[in-house]
C-alpha cells in the first residue's frame, strides 16, 4: 500500500456517500460507484446499505430477528443483537481472525446475502464506509482500504513515494480495550455460546 498517500487521501477527502473527491500528491480525482467498479472489476449493482446501528432494509427477505437467530444458533432469541463469533457455526463466512469478537448487524446481513446468493454492491459499500470515516468518525481509526486505494492511485496516475506492506493495524486499527465493556460482553458471549450448544444438542437428539 501507499501508506502516506492513503493518509493524504483521507485528510483531503470531501463529498458524500455516493461521490468522494480528494487530492493526493498534487493529483485531484473523484470516486463514485461506477468508477470504483471499473477499477476493482466488480459489479456496481445490488444491495449496498452501510448501516451498523439500525438494521438495513432487506425487502422480501427474512426479518432481522430471524437473521440473528440463524447466526447465533439460538431459536429462542427474542430480540436482534450482535452475535458472538463463538456461537456461530464453522460454515458461516465472517473472518474469525479479526480483533472483534462479535458480528454486528451489517456483518450478519452481508452473510445472509452471501448465503442467499443476493448481489452485493461492493463499490457502494466502500464509498459509504469511506464517507463515514471522513465525516462522522472522530476517534483514531485504521487506514481503511489501503490496498485497494493503491489500485485507485495507480488508475489516476498518483506518484507513490514508497510502496509498503500493509499490516493488520492498518486494516483493523488499534483496539482500545479500556473503552469496551468487557464484563457485559463476556456474559453475553457465554450465554450465546451455551444456547448455541444446547440447540445443537437438541437437534442431534431429534435427528436420532
- What are the tens digits of pLDDT across the range 52-106? 656 566 666 667 788 888 888 888 888 777 888 778 876 676 655 455 678 877 7
Better-scored residue on pLDDT, 177 or 137: 137
Residue given cell 445443537 in the structure block:
200
Q: For residue 175, what is its C-alpha cell?
A: 483496539
Better-scored residue on pLDDT, 2 or 139: 2
Q: Is the pLDDT of residue 152 over 90?
A: yes
The pLDDT value recorded for residue 37 is 96
Query: What are 98-129's pLDDT values in tens digits?
Result: 556 788 777 888 888 888 888 989 999 999 88
Note whether 67 and 116 are within 8 A (CB): no
Note whether 131 and 17 are within 8 A (CB): yes
Q: Is the pLDDT of residue 197 over 90?
A: no
Nearest partner of 20 among 33, 2, 7, 5, judged by Cα:
33
CA-to-CA distance for 151 and 117, rounded, in angstroms?
27
Task: Report the share of the chain in percent with pLDDT over 90.
Answer: 27
**DSSP 3-state of 15:** strand
Q: Is the pLDDT of residue 178 over 90?
A: no
CA-to-CA distance for 177 and 154, rounded, in angstroms?
37
The pLDDT value recorded for residue 43 is 92
Q: What are phi and psi of 154, to 5 degrees?
A: -65, -40
CA-to-CA distance for 1 and 106, rounded, in angstroms?
26
Q: Is the pLDDT of residue 181 over 50?
A: no
Q: Is the pLDDT of residue 35 over 90?
A: yes
CA-to-CA distance for 94 and 110, rounded, in angstroms?
9
Task: Report the share of the chain in percent with pLDDT over 70.
Answer: 74
The whole-number average pLDDT for the span 19-40 is 96
CA-to-CA distance for 141 and 134, rounded, in angstroms?
10
The whole-number average pLDDT for the span 175-186 is 44
Amino acid at each position: 500500500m501507499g501508506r502516506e498517500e492513503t493518509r493524504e487521501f483521507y485528510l483531503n477527502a470531501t463529498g458524500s456517500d455516493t461521490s468522494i473527491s480528494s487530492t493526493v500528491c498534487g493529483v485531484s480525482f473523484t470516486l463514485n460507484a461506477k468508477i470504483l467498479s471499473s477499477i476493482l472489476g466488480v459489479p456496481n449493482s445490488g444491495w449496498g446499505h452501510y448501516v451498523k446501528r439500525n438494521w438495513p432494509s432487506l425487502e422480501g427477505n427474512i426479518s432481522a430477528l430471524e437473521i440473528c437467530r440463524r447466526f447465533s444458533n439460538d431459536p429462542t432469541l427474542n430480540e436482534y443483537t450482535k452475535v458472538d463469533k463463538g456461537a456461530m457455526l464453522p460454515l458461516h463466512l465472517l473472518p474469525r481472525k479479526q480483533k472483534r469478537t462479535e458480528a454486528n448487524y451489517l456483518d450478519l446481513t452481508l452473510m445472509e446475502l452471501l448465503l442467499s446468493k443476493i448481489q452485493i454492491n461492493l463499490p457502494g459499500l466502500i464509498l459509504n464506509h469511506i464517507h463515514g470515516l471522513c465525516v462522522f468518525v472522530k476517534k483514531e481509526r485504521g487506514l481503511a482500504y489501503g490496498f485497494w486505494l493503491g489500485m485507485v492511485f495507480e488508475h489516476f496516475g498518483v506518484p507513490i513515494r514508497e510502496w509498503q506492506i500493509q499490516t493488520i493495524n492498518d486494516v483493523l486499527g488499534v483496539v482500545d480495550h479500556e473503552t469496551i465493556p468487557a464484563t457485559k460482553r463476556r456474559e453475553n458471549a457465554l450465554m450465546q455460546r451455551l444456547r448455541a450448544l444446547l440447540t445443537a444438542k437438541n437437534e442431534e437428539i431429534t435427528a436420532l
